Structure 1
Amino acid sequence: MNEVGVILAGGQARRMGGGDKGRLRLGSTSLIEQVIARAEPQLDRLILNANGDLGRFDDLGLVCVADSIGDYPGPLAGVLAAMDWAAEHQVEWVVSVAADTPFFPLDLVERLRATGAPVTLAATPDPQRGRLPQPTFGRWRVDLRDDLRAALNDGVRKIRQWTQRHGEALVVFETDPMDPFFNINTQADLARASELLACK
């Protein structure tokens, strides 16, 4: 399959006091190593989106790509950076996963791929809205990159503000017995993730 996975790690982790959230310890490894271990079996190629000194990730053995849009505009900029890398390497699709979400489904890529839509996002059931999108987990057609770049330069920051213009599909993943998209934003979340990991 002509696609590449990107781990989105370009944020500033303000709620954790800054720094690289992916380097936090979870079990016997770091959070980002947990994410890599989950993503690698699903994808032939995997890269990392981050900002600042990319050399600090050399130990992970992944190609690192930085945002091309300044001032930390959010996950869409990381998707665009991966799209630009993919275009340079004649890759047609990008699959994004978040660096702070260590339990995402092991069939994520297979199920996102199945829709064939230009953009497909993961979602979970929601009692009020029916489906709750998990927009940092998605599959993106690379030939949309110029449109995405223009949208970011026009100030678009919310992922679905852009994806809904492009035939977005949603794939719902169940949350029983646990939410596979549980993400770590605070020390309390990290403690909860440690509990969940111990139960797996």
Structure 2
Amino acid sequence: MIQPLGVILAGGQATRMGGGDKALLPLGAGTILSHVIDRLEPQVGGVALNANGDAARFAGIDLPVIADSIAGFAGPLSGVLAGMDWAAQRGASHIVTAAADTPFFPCDLVPQLMLAAENAGADLALATSPSGRQPTFGLWPVALREDLRLALQGGLRKVVLWTEKHRAGYAEFADDAAFFNVNTPDDLVKAQAML
């Protein structure tokens, strides 16, 4: 498998943070998003940001911004599909997704996902930690994009319900803190302390 492309999922509405782009909130010397980019970029062949609304608000970030093609904030799978479509235009066979609000995810996420897929004889792999599956951190084959599009058009929203229809590998990570995500103002305080 050639090196996948990376897609950062920032298509949600951040309602628990009071709306807006929580990925752009300051964290340490940068933003939550800059930490995510710094972790993902070295592991993939290129990175795009999945976000909805006016892309100009990300003008300071040197990444392509791709919007969901399924209307109505259809959840992370819609961002996965947008990433697959973007990757298909570049001739890539796979994407790896990471959540835009999870700044401490593993620096070996991509190789571990690729290894999990290989060991399972699968094209798809998801991250897990002691607290369970981490469905926004996955390796996704571009070849499944039409299957995913049909599922989303049919109303499916849960990542696990779609992945269970396909053979998937699971990359197990021992540290739950690696998948700590910033959903509330209190979480942002915790993230500052974790730095």
TM-score by length of structure 1 reads: 0.93
Q: How does 1:142-157 map to 2 (within 5 A)?
A: 142-157=142-157
Q: 1:45 is matched by which residue type in structure 2?
A: G
- Of the structure 1 ranges 91-100 and 38-47, higher mean CA displacement relative to structure 2 is found in 38-47
Distance, in Å, in 2 between the alignment partners of 1:2 and 1:145 is 18
* Structure-1 residue corresponding to 2:5: 4
Contact 2:10–2:50 under 8 Å retained in 1: yes
Distance, in Å, in 1 between the alignment partners of 2:4 and 2:40 is 13
**3-state SS of paired residue (1:103):** coil
- The CA deviation at 1:28 is 1.1
* Structure-2 residue corresponding to 1:129: none
- The CA deviation at 1:97 is 0.2
* Structure-2 residue corresponding to 1:23: 24
% identical aligned pairs: 51
**3-state SS of paired residue (1:22):** helix
**3-state SS of paired residue (2:71):** coil
Q: 2:171 is matched by which residue type in structure 1?
A: V
- The CA deviation at 1:41 is 1.1
**3-state SS of paired residue (1:133):** strand
1:90 maps onto 2:91 in alignment: yes
CA deviation profile, 1:34-71 (whole Å, cap 9, x unmatched): 11011111112011100001121121110111000000
Contact 2:113–2:139 under 8 Å retained in 1: yes
CA deviation profile, 1:120-143 (whole Å, cap 9, x unmatched): 0000024xxxxx100000000000
Q: How does 1:40-119 map to 2 (within 5 A)?
A: 40-114=41-115, 115-116=117-118, 117-119=122-124
* Structure-2 residue corresponding to 1:184: 182
**What number of residue pairs does the alignment pair up?**
190
Q: 2:23 is matched by which residue type in structure 1?
A: G
Distance, in Å, in 2 between the alignment partners of 1:72 and 1:43 is 26
* Structure-2 residue corresponding to 1:140: 140
Distance, in Å, in 1 between the alignment partners of 2:186 and 2:88 is 39
Distance, in Å, in 2 between the alignment partners of 1:73 and 1:96 is 16
1:122 maps onto 2:124 in alignment: no
Q: 1:34 is matched by which residue type in structure 2?
A: H
Gaps of 5+ in 1: 127-131
- The CA deviation at 1:2 is 4.2
Distance, in Å, in 2 between the alignment partners of 1:123 and 1:180 is 11
**3-state SS of paired residue (2:59):** helix
Gaps of 5+ in 2: none
Instruction: Supply the RMSD in Å over aligned alpha carbons.
Output: 1.0
Q: 1:194 is matched by which residue type in structure 2?
A: Q
Q: 1:50 is matched by which residue type in structure 2?
A: A
Distance, in Å, in 2 between the alignment partners of 1:133 and 1:2 is 23
CA deviation profile, 1:125-177 (whole Å, cap 9, x unmatched): 24xxxxx10000000000000000000011110000000101022111012xx
* Structure-2 residue corresponding to 1:193: 191
Q: 1:119 is matched by which residue type in structure 2?
A: L
CA deviation profile, 1:58-98 (whole Å, cap 9, x unmatched): 21110111000000000000000010011111110010000
